[in-house]
Amino acid sequence: MTQNRNVPFFNYPQVYLNDKENLMKIFDDIGSRGAFIMQKDLEIFENNLATFTGSKFAIGVGNATDGLELSWMAIGLKKGDEVICCSHTMLATASAIKTAGGTPVPVELGDDGLIDPDAIEDAINSRTVGIMPTQLNGRTCDMDRIMNIANKQNLYVVEDAAQALGSRFKGKHAGTFGNASAISFFPAKVLGSLGDGGGVITNDPYYFDKIYQLHDHGRDINGEVKSWGRNSRLDNLQAAILNHNLESYQNVIDRRRQIASIYQEQLSDLNELELPPAPDADPNHYDIYQNYELQADRRDELKKFLADNNIGTLIQWGGKGVHQWEGLGFNVKLPKVERFFERCIMIPMNMFISDDDVNYICEKIRLFYRG
What pLDDT digit, counting tens, does each position of 2-20 carry? 678 999 999 999 999 999 9
Mean pLDDT in residue range 226-252: 97
The 10s digit of each residue's pLDDT in 210-231 is 999 999 999 999 999 999 999 9
Q: Is the pLDDT of residue 299 over 70?
A: yes
155-179: per-residue pLDDT in tens?
999 999 999 999 999 999 999 999 9
- Tell me what the mean pLDDT of segment 302-330 comes to: 96
pLDDT, residue 97, reads 98
Whether 51 shows a pLDDT value over 70: the answer reads yes
CA 355/CA 353 separation, integer angstroms: 7
Using only the alpha carbons of the chain, give its radius of gyration: 21
Sign of CA dihedral 254, 255, 260, 266: positive
pLDDT tens digit sequence for 329-365: 999 999 999 999 999 999 999 999 999 999 999 999 9
The mean pLDDT of 87-106, rounded to a whole number, is 97
259 φ/ψ angles, rounded to the nearest 5 degrees: -60, -45
Mean pLDDT of 269-285: 97
Residue-level pLDDT at 3: 73
Confidence of residue 41 (pLDDT cuts 50, 70, 90): very high
What does the mean pLDDT of the chain come to?
A: 97
Model confidence, pTM: 0.95
Distance, CA of 16 to CA of 23 (rounded, Å) = 7
Q: Which domains does the chain have, with CATH numbers?
A: 16-246 (3.40.640.10), 248-370 (3.90.1150.10)
- Write down the pLDDT at residue 1: 55
